[in-house]
Structure formats: structure tokens, C-alpha cells
């Protein structure tokens, strides 16, 4: 099959054109990002049917796994920035070279995070979880450890494609992965077809297998079907590959730390829930899983906004940077407000979908009622981080995220959830404080940066 040609489209010139361009790119990205969370949601639902104890084990393990994964994803975000800016500048032949450097980083990061996952039981124990809960969560992490390199390879490859305006392959691979995951869960969680019933460990093993399949499929697509000019750098010498690696790390590591500050804050709050008890942990896990899935819509708009801003930077178009950034914020406010209202009107049925345990249902519904309130602010801060990322502005947003989530969210969650005894609902209220601070400070930062002269990263 001959490779498709690269089409260079006219950049948006007004708010309407920019909104349509962002939405076209964001749609498949949202599906792909949501698909990653749907994997976790399906695991959570199917594990919940195996019992509250298994659900608590899975929730404890995934709290650490998501924190590690988000650091890795953040560290690879420089891939999208550099590819988008090169693509916007018309340097298509460099895009494949950037991807090759990113793949090397993805493998190394994945191996390191896989090794860290092996110490999950000790890590959970340090945070005060009961020995049986720490042991169960640690076993989940061991099952997931060997799949960290392929999931990061998938992430780097998806970012490479999205930065050139090609998000659909990543979406298709993710949709197929979800179908395979359901079948593997049915076999491994419950022990069908003569296999042992592994419970939470079975859900983790299924996810690990699926991650390897995802990486193989998307890399194979790139090597076989992408335009020749976009992949030329994969096979040809890249004279500045060492400098490219430095630039990728200079952009990615602060973004990875920023992601980690947010994700470890959420992980710490999840561990607060575990200290309350297994029922609280299970109910909080349901609420945060659904909130996180909705948040993937914001992540999709954020990724699309970062690409649009990055391409504007590559063109040297300061007005385009401003237009792309604030249009993305407007879109995410509309989307998150609508989805938050829908969930807020159906917290009880949503909680019942996850588990038959009435006590866990009540805890989850109460936590969801608070959690939907911060969706709008959470979406805004995600898109503003994406807009800043597109410009290459990474250090100041890192400091702002640190203050918002560790200076505000975690102390507030401890105060409301533990000290005041409000339980998972209080934990959600603490997170609300953090995302409000984050969105307001990042809005100030992007306004400042977008008024400066455009300069590539």
C-alpha cells in the first residue's frame, strides 16, 4: 500500500476556524485518552464483581501505577512539542527522527518504572495501609510492572502522530485494545476456560498483555503506512540527535515532574481513603475512576490545544498561539460543565453500576456529588497546561502545579476527609481546592507567555 501524502492545511484565522480545528483533532484524541481510562474502568467494574476486597486491592495498586505512569507520560510530552513545532515549520523530515529519540527514552523510562513497581508493597506500607491491603496492592503492581515499557512506547508514538494531525490510528488501536481487555478479564479475573480465578491480579495481568499489543500495533502502523517524509528520520542519520535528546529531556522532565506532583497528590488522597477503611477505599476508587474517565475529555482537548499552539510556534505566529490557547479553554469549559451536570444528576445509578455492595454505593455516590463540582476547573487547568506546553513553557507551570496540589489540595483533603471526618466526600472537597488554585494561576501564566515574542523550544 503506497504511503499517504502529507497535506499542509491553512492555519486557522479566527475563533470559529480555530474551534473547529481543535475539535477535529480533539475528538479522536479524547476517544484514545478516554480509552486508556476505560481500560482501568472496566478492570475496576469487573474486579468489583469479584468482591469489595479485590476491588480495594486493585484500587491500592492502581493508585501507585497511575502515579508512575503519569510521570512517564509527562516526561514524553516533549515528543509532541518538538514534532508539532517542526511540522508547523514545514520540517517534516525531522519528525521521524524526533520519534526515534523519543522511543529510546520511552523504553528506558519504562524499565525504570517497572523496577519501581516491584517495591509496591513496601511503598503502600509506608503510607500506613494495613498489611493485607498493602500486600494485595503490591501484587497488582508486580503484575503490571513488565508492561511499563510498551505503554510508554505507545504514548510516545501516539504523541508523534497527534502532533502531525493524525490522531485516528491511536484511537483505533485503543478501541480494539478495550475489546481484547474485556475478554481477557473474563478469563483471568473469574477463572473461566479452565484458568485460575486471579481476581485483581487477573485484571492487572490482562492489562499488561493488552499494553504489549497496543505498542506493537501502533509502531507497526507508523513503519508501514506513514508518509515517507514523516518517517525518513527514523531510518536516516539525524545529525543533532544528541541535542534532540537533551531538548526532549529539558521539556519532558519538568512536565513529568508536574504530572507527578498532581498524580501523587491524587495517589496520596487515595491512600487517605485506604486509611479510613476498605469500604471507603472501594467507594473512593469508584468515584475517582469515573471522574478520571471524564477528565480524559479535558486531556484530549489539552493535547489538541498543545498541538495547535506548537504548530503556531513553529510558524512564528504569536496571534495563532493566543487564539489556539484560549479557544481550547473555552471548549473544555463547555464540555466539562455538560458532563459534570449529567453525572451529578445520576450519582446513585452510576455507583450501582460499579458494585452491588450497598454501603460502597452510598460512599461512592456521596463522593461523586462533590467530585463533579471541580470538573470545570480541572478541565481548565489541564488545557492551560497543554497551551503552556505547546509554547515550551515548562518550569513555571511546574512550580504552580506543585503549589496547587501539594500546598493546597493534599492539606485540604487531609483536613476535610480525615481531621473533620467527612470521609471520601471530604477528600474530594480537598481536591476541588487544588484544581481551582491550579486553573487560576495557570491562566495568569499563559496570558503572560502568549504576549511574548514567539520562540521555538
HEC string of 119-134?
CHHHHHHHCCCCHHHH
Q: Which three cell numbers stand for residue 365?
A: 455516590
Cα dihedral value 276, 278, 280, 284, nearest 10: 120
Gyration radius of the chain over CA positions: 21
Q: What angle do CA 144, 145, 148 make, to 5 degrees?
A: 95
> Hey, CA dihedral for 153, 155, 160, 165, is it positive or negative?
positive
pLDDT one digit per residue (tens) for the chain, 457 residues: 344 444 455 677 777 778 888 888 888 888 887 787 778 778 888 888 777 778 888 878 887 887 788 788 888 888 888 888 888 888 777 888 888 889 999 999 999 999 998 887 887 887 677 888 888 888 889 899 999 999 999 999 999 998 888 888 999 999 999 999 999 999 999 988 888 888 888 999 999 999 999 999 999 988 876 655 555 556 656 556 677 777 888 887 887 888 778 777 887 888 888 788 778 877 887 888 788 778 878 888 888 898 889 888 888 888 888 888 999 999 999 988 888 888 877 778 878 877 777 788 888 888 888 878 888 899 999 999 989 888 888 889 889 989 999 999 999 999 998 888 888 888 989 999 999 999 999 999 999 988 877 677 6
Q: What is the pLDDT of residue 425?
A: 85
The Cα–Cα gap between 247 and 241 comes to 10
Q: What is the pLDDT of residue 225?
A: 66
Q: What is the pLDDT of residue 9?
A: 58
| Residue burial 95-123, b: 16+ Cβ < 10 Å; e: rest | bbbbbbbbbebbbebbeebbebbeebbeb
Q: What is the pLDDT of residue 1?
A: 39
Q: What is the pLDDT of residue 233?
A: 56
Provide CB contacts within 8 A for 327, sequence distance 6+.
15, 18, 19, 22, 305, 308
Considering the entire predicted model, what is its pTM?
0.76
Amino acid at each position: 500500500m503506497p504511503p499517504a501524502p502529507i497535506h499542509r492545511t491553512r492555519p486557522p484565522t479566527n475563533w470559529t476556524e480555530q474551534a473547529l480545528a481543535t475539535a477535529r483533532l480533539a475528538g479522536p484524541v479524547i476517544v484514545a485518552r478516554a480509552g486508556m481510562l476505560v481500560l482501568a474502568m472496566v478492570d475496576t467494574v469487573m474486579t468489583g464483581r469479584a468482591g469489595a476486597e479485590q476491588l480495594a486491592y486493585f484500587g491500592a495498586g492502581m493508585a501507585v501505577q497511575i502515579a508512575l505512569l503519569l510521570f512517564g507520560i509527562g516526561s514524553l510530552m516533549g515528543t509532541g512539542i518538538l514534532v508539532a513545532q517542526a511540522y508547523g515549520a514545514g520540517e517534516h523530515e525531522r519528525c521521524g527522527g524526533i520519534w526515534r529519540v523519543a522511543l529510546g527514552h520511552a523504553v528506558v523510562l519504562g524499565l525504570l518504572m517497572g523496577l519501581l513497581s516491584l517495591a509496591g508493597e513496601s511503598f503502600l506500607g509506608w503510607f500506613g495501609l494495613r498489611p493485607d491491603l498493602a500486600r494485595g496492592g503490591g501484587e497488582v503492581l508486580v503484575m503490571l510492572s513488565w508492561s511499563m515499557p510498551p505503554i510508554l512506547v505507545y504514548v510516545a508514538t501516539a504523541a508523534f502522530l497527534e502532533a502531525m494531525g493524525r490522531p485516528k490510528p491511536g484511537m483505533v488501536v485503543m478501541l480494539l485494545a478495550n475489546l481484547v481487555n474485556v475478554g481477557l478479564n473474563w478469563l483471568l479475573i473469574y477463572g473461566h476456560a479452565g484458568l485460575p480465578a486471579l481476581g485483581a491480579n487477573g485484571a492487572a495481568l490482562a492489562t499488561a498483555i493488552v499494553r504489549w499489543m497496543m505498542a506493537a500495533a501502533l509502531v507497526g502502523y507508523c513503519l508501514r503506512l506513514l508518509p515517507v517524509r514523516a518517517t525518513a528520520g527514523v531510518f536516516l542519520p539525524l545529525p543533532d540527535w544528541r541535542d534532540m535528546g537533551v531538548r526532549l529531556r529539558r521539556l519532558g522532565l519538568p512536565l513529568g515532574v508536574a504530572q507527578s506532583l498532581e498524580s501523587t497528590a491524587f495517589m496520596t488522597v487515595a491512600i487517605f481513603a485506604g486509611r479510613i477503611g476498605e469500604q471507603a477505599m472501594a467507594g473512593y476508587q469508584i468515584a475517582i475512576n469515573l471522574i478520571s474517565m471524564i477528565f480524559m475529555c479535558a486531556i484530549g482537548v489539552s493535547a489538541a490545544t498543545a498541538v495547535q499552539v506548537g504548530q503556531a510556534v513553529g510558524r512564528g505566529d504569536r496571534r495563532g498561539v493566543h487564539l489556539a490557547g484560549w479557544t481550547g479553554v473555552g471548549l473544555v469549559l463547555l464540555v466539562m460543565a455538560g458532563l459534570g451536570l449529567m453525572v451529578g444528576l445520576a450519582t446513585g445509578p452510576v455507583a450501582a453500576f460499579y458494585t452491588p455492595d450497598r454501603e460502597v454505593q452510598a460512599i461512592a455516590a456521596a463522593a461523586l456529588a462533590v467530585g463533579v463540582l471541580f470538573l470545570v476547573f480541572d478541565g481548565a487547568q489541564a488545557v492551560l497546561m497543554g497551551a503552556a506546553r505547546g509554547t515550551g513553557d515548562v518550569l513555571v507551570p511546574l512550580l504552580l502545579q506543585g503549589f496547587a496540589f501539594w500546598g493546597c489540595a493534599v492539606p485540604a483533603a487531609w483536613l476535610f476527609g480525615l481531621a473533620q471526618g467527612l470521609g471520601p466526600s471530604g477528600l474530594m472537597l480537598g481536591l476541588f481546592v487544588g484544581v481551582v488554585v491550579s486553573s487560576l494561576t495557570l491562566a495568569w501564566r499563559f496570558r503572560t507567555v502568549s504576549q511574548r515574542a514567539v520562540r521555538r523550544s
